[in-house]
Amino acid sequence: IPPHRYAAMDAAQRLALDVATEMFARHGRPPHSLKGVGTVAVGSNLGLSRERRLHTGLCLDDLEADVRSLAALGRLGPDEVETLTKLVRDRFADPGPVDVPAAWDGSVASGIAALVGNEHRLDAVPVAVEAACASSLAALDVAVGRLRAGAADYAVAGGVELPCNARDMVLCSALGLLSHSRITPFDAAADGFTPGDGCALFLLKRLADARRDGDPVFGVLRAVGASNDAKSLIAPDADGQARAVRQAFAQVDFGPDDVDYLEAHGTGTRLGDRVEVAAVAQVYGTGRRGAPLHIGSAKSFLGHTFAAAGAAGLLRTLQALRQTTLPPSVNLSELSPDLALDAVPARVATQALPWPAGPDRPRRAAVSAFGTGGINYHLLIEEGTDATR
């Protein structure tokens, strides 16, 4: 990629491209060695193309209007509003030379997926997926569907997120979703999340094909369950989340008692955490025997990475399976009394613990991600066998 084009790309495109390059390096084979037709499905905030429009100076008037409305919401004085508006115009009024291909790539929804596929010379269909904070798991759902249908021989799927714009942060704050200090999932003092950024991508194949090709198998995706609360755009619903969990288990030959660890959505909002644990109790708390279900959240380390949140949780879970270690959550001082953990029973680990295998089954885990609008995803993951790990 010419340096001038790389510099002109949307930051999310650069991040996804870099992560995809690292992913193929970890795979141990060049991407052009992949056989057949593929799919590249990337979950992202489709509004990221706004950055590209800003850097080409195409929406200054809209941005200035946003600044004025947000400033009014923050009760800023006229002089402060004018200062903010001038800063915005000075920053973006002269975007400099515009790289037309890069600007175009950044203005279409599928630009990130297309860039990953094209620059790695993949014969792959690029797909953009937007499902709010569940976007990355929705992208995996698309990839799995094409693999199962025989429409693809391999897939690259995951999510990418960079810091949201100021308007989104102000709206999150107005809704009481942002923490005043730090994100503390499942804690009695939890008061919201802190925003994060990142990217995680995965190379998927049908298990038989991966074994045939001698690929390293870091985990086996056994099921993808999805549902919608259909009640509120922002208020979670335990029954709706539980439907996604049940749908996932309807696809496999094992039950909730055979899952050791749940990588929860765990946003650190009191309502969100309470509802999520209540949904877990509906399914995982039915006749659970033996060891409690261990629950954790990558957000305690990373913050809320929005469109990439599910992928971040999946990456952490795969690493935990490979290292046979139950991962901890941090920033937990006192468990919230609102959580029905005893009804599962479940435990939130505050330090890494050994993850023993069952006497007659592999280690298994689940990953959840929920998005604004009521969309819920629940994945069931199994470790690879010794022959394929």
Residue pLDDT, tens place only, 270-315 = 999 999 999 999 999 987 888 899 999 999 999 999 999 999 999 9
Q: Is residue 345 reached through a cis peptide bond, with omega within 30 degrees of 0 on the bond before it?
A: yes
Is residue 100 over pLDDT 70? no
Residue of 152 and 101 predicted with greater confidence: 152
pLDDT of residue 74: 66
User: What's the pLDDT tens digit per position in 353-383?
Assistant: 999 987 788 999 999 999 988 999 999 999 9
* pLDDT at res. 267: 94
pTM equals: 0.87
Using alpha carbons only, give the angle 330, 336, 342 rounded to the nearest 5 degrees. 100
Mean pLDDT, all residues of the chain: 87
Quickly state the pLDDT bin for 2 (edges 50, 70, 90).
confident
pLDDT band at residue 389 using 50, 70 and 90 as cut-offs: very low
pLDDT value at residue 85: 76
* Residue 104 reports pLDDT greater than 60: no
Residue of 120, 133, 172, 378 with catalytic role: 133
What's the CATH fold of domain 3-48+107-382? Peroxisomal Thiolase; Chain A, domain 1 (3.40.47)
Range of weakest confidence among 57-66, 138-147, 253-262: 57-66
Say which of 55, 120, 265, 294 is annotated catalytic. 265
Please determine, for residue 57, whether its predicted confidence score (pLDDT) is greater than 60: no
What pLDDT sits at residue 75?
63
By CB atoms closer than 10 A (0-12, 13-18, 19+), residue 337 is: exposed
Percent of the chain with pLDDT over 90: 64
Place of tokens 């100021």: 166
Q: What is the predicted pLDDT for the residue at 105?
A: 58
Quick one: tokens of 277?
A: 């644990």
Band of pLDDT at residue 137, cut at 50, 70 and 90: very high
Torsion of CA 314, 318, 323, 329, to 10 degrees: 10
Of residues 75 and 222, more confidently modeled: 222
- pLDDT for residue 49 is more than 60: no
- Considering 55, 294, 304, 378, which one is annotated as catalytic? 304
Tens of pLDDT, residues 111-125: 899 999 999 999 999
What is the per-residue pLDDT across 157-203, written as a single tens digit (0 to 9) for each?
Answer: 999 998 666 667 777 887 888 998 999 999 999 999 999 999 999 99
Any catalytic annotation for residue 294? Answer: no
The pLDDT, as a whole number, for residue 354 is 97
Quick one: pLDDT at residue 334? 95
Q: Is 70 exceeded by the pLDDT of residue 126? A: yes
Class of residue 163 by CB neighbours under 10 A (exposed 0-12, middle 13-18, buried 19+):
middle
| pLDDT top residue among 66 and 18 | 18
Q: 49: which 2 tokens?
A: 């193309």
3-state percent breakdown (helix, strand, coil) of the chain, nearest 5: 40, 20, 40
Predicted confidence at residue 177, as pLDDT, reads: 87
Is 265 among the residues known to form the active site? yes
pLDDT computed for residue 344 by the predictor = 94
Q: What is the pLDDT of residues 236-274, one digit of tens each?
A: 899 999 999 999 999 999 999 999 999 999 999 999 999
CA distance 268 to 16: 27
